[in-house]
A and B are shown apart, each in its own frame.
Chain A
Amino acid sequence: MPDFFRRKPTFNREDVSAEDGPVVPDGLWVKCQKCKDLVYSKDFERWFRVCPKCDFHARLSASQRIEYVLDSGSFEEWDRGIVTSDPLEFSANGDVYREKVKSTTRKAGQPEALVTGRGRIRGYDAAVAVTEFRFLGASMGSAFGEKFARVVERAVDQRLPFISISNSGGARMHESTFSLMQMAKTTAALSRLGEHKLPHISVLTDPCYGGVTASYAMVADVIIAEPGAMVGFAGPRVIEQITRQKLPDGFQTAEFLLEHGMIDMISRRSELPGTLSLLLLHYADAFLGRHQPGYAMSGQSRNGEAR
């Protein structure tokens, strides 16, 4: 249907930020970033912020992600107080990192780019780490790395499987080599998890680049991506600038990665809890002993009470 027949919604562009997901003109309708179609906002929320018309998966905050994936009321947050101490006393062009952390904490509603803890997915217990992209592009600084190492170490202590859900721009420039070393730190923690036969399931969401993909996110036992998520090492703009190569259509999308054998599967957002819980059930044999009914049943009954 031609767009010019449609009444233009009136809204103030300054009130909304295009980065954070679809634009909501008057609170009732959401404009899809991809197909530009209008969707009734309640429908959009009910569809887990996925456009019902074109299947575009909008970015989520860490708290939305936790709400969508974990059983209601099951999340227990860990180490919320771990924040960066600005080791380099970094400032660029008059922009002071310490101040930026303060303002971004207010904007993102999170004190760091990673939220960690434990929770249940359809009754199955797991340790979880979820990135907050609005916090400096979920870049990996010292506090991020520390929280990650701690959640993995606690997963080992409590014999929990581990699920990471990531999107990230990569390294945190403001912490330079400290940031770089978090790649080694997070991966080293995962090597311990593996020694204890606890699975790591990594969920890649849009966009996922650099330091995160070149470390913990790509060394999981199972790697799942959301449809259309952009995932890679170097960003497409950088590649085009440096190599002057024309990049093919669909380059670095989840579908491209699946085709090239880099991930196990693509899971739609609405199906993710089901996929994760099924995998957790299968891996339970490894970390609880064969055919342990207790894992699923205790989880489900507790979950039933919670609801």
Chain B
Amino acid sequence: MSTTTPAWERVQLARKADRPHSLDYVNALINGFVELHGDRRHSDDPAMIAGIGAFNGRTVMAIGHQKGSNTRENLDRNFGMPNPDGYRKALRIFRHAEKFGFPLICFIDTPAADPGLGSEERGQATAIAENLLALASLRVPSVGVVIGEGGSGGALAISVTDRLLMLENAVYAVASPEACAAILWKDSNAAPQAAEALKLTAQDLKRFGIIDEIVPEPEPAHDASDATIQRTGEAIERHLGEIEAIADRPAGIDRLLELRYEKYRGIGAWVDEQEELIGELPVGVPGTSTPESTSD
């Protein structure tokens, strides 16, 4: 694919139903993969898969959003949108990996976290937040790969990893282009413009330093499934090898956690204009705070 492919086209490619999904990667890359089910709280969420197996000779735990390849599968998998049970299953697997010292590999491919009534009742926001907290200080090496759609907090909840990779035609943004268009353009038909403005392609995110590597797709993944999966496996191995080398030194895990903290601590684009802001905040100064409703 060319580097000038429009963002909207990438979105279409990232969403292709016949693009390889998490289980395709896991089954091809992880030998003797045993899928583990359930959050031990409420249910087993088919939109999130998890398990244990051997990746290039070492035991790893793998987690991924799971989309379907057709409508029937997608209905079963809730289009890859996990509910809180899915995120709590992931959390159980994080802890499991930590307990046994197994590296963690995450495959990210979701339009969003499930926005349903039951999800709200069981604390969707809390479930995602707890995963972010757990991943920030998880004492094992971790690699994440955005293989298709990286949709907002639902994607982030399994992607706060030491290394974050992205397939060339994958996308990752805070909201879907349709939702962004509906809110800021007041017109969901403006999704192509919104996709462009959201800077959601792997090329943009590499430039911003948010991801560590782009896994190339000389042919789009849906046309070259095996080659894409193999190339992804090689990239995961390279990064996992690097961070394992850090982790294996004395106090290496602490160093790894420090690096992980710095990685996410450093993401942001801001300036300090302290000098230019001479105005004092009127709070805490008696008599200067006024109710806004009269003047606003």
Contacts and interface: CB of A to CB of B under 8 A. Distances in A.
Interface in B112-160: 113, 115-117, 119-126, 128-130, 132-133, 135-137, 152-153, 156-157, 160
Q: How large is the interface on A (under 10, 10 to 19, 20 to 34, 35 or more residues)?
A: 35 or more
B250 interface: no
A77 interface: yes
A173 B184 contact: yes
Contacts of B198: 88, 173, 176-177
B269 A175 contact: yes
Given A70-B284, A72-B286, A82 B200 contact: no
Contacts of A23: 293
Interface in B28-86: none
Given A24-B294, A242-B115, A260-B121, A184 B264 contact: yes
B63 to A, nearest CB: 16
Nearest to A180: B174
B64 to A, nearest CB: 19
Contact of A149 (B137, B184, B186, B265): B265
Interface residues of B, number: 71
B227 to A, nearest CB: 27
Given A63-B281, A81-B275, A260 B133 contact: no
B251 interface: no
A43 interface: no
A81 B271 CA distance: 8
A178 B292 contact: no
A106 to B, nearest CB: 11
Contacts of B172: 177, 180
Interface stretch (A1-9, A138-146, A273-281, A296-304): A138-146
B210 interface: yes
Nearest to B269: A87
Contacts, number: 263
Given A81-B272, A83-B271, A219-B133, A239 B284 contact: no
A23 to B, nearest CB: 7
Contact of B133 (A30, A143, A190): A190
Given A24-B293, A171-B175, A185-B265, A67 B283 contact: yes
Nearest to B151: A180
B265 A178 contact: no
A188 B175 contact: no
Contact of B269 (A45, A63, A64, A142): A142
A75 B284 contact: yes
A176 B200 contact: yes
B274 A180 contact: no
A172 to B, nearest CB: 8
Given A214-B128, A233-B125, A188 B265 contact: yes
A218 B284 contact: no
Contacts of B153: 171, 180, 183, 210-211, 214-215, 233
B115 to A, nearest CB: 4
B129 A187 contact: yes
Interface in A134-177: 134, 142-143, 145-146, 149, 171-177
Nearest to B284: A75
Given A81-B273, A176-B200, A262-B126, A239 B156 contact: no
B285 A17 contact: no
Given A239-B115, A251-B120, A260-B122, A61 B130 contact: no
A17 B296 contact: yes
Interface in A22-81: 22-24, 27, 30, 41, 45, 49, 61-64, 66-67, 70, 72-75, 77, 79-81
Given A64-B291, A171-B152, A251-B117, 7 more contacts: A88-B197, A111-B277, A115-B281, A145-B267, A184-B156, A213-B125, A219-B132
Interface of B: 113, 115-117, 119-126, 128-130, 132-133, 135-137, 152-153, 156-157, 160, 172-175, 180, 183-186, 190, 193-194, 197-200, 205, 208, 210, 260-261, 264-265, 267-277, 281-286, 289, 291-294, 296
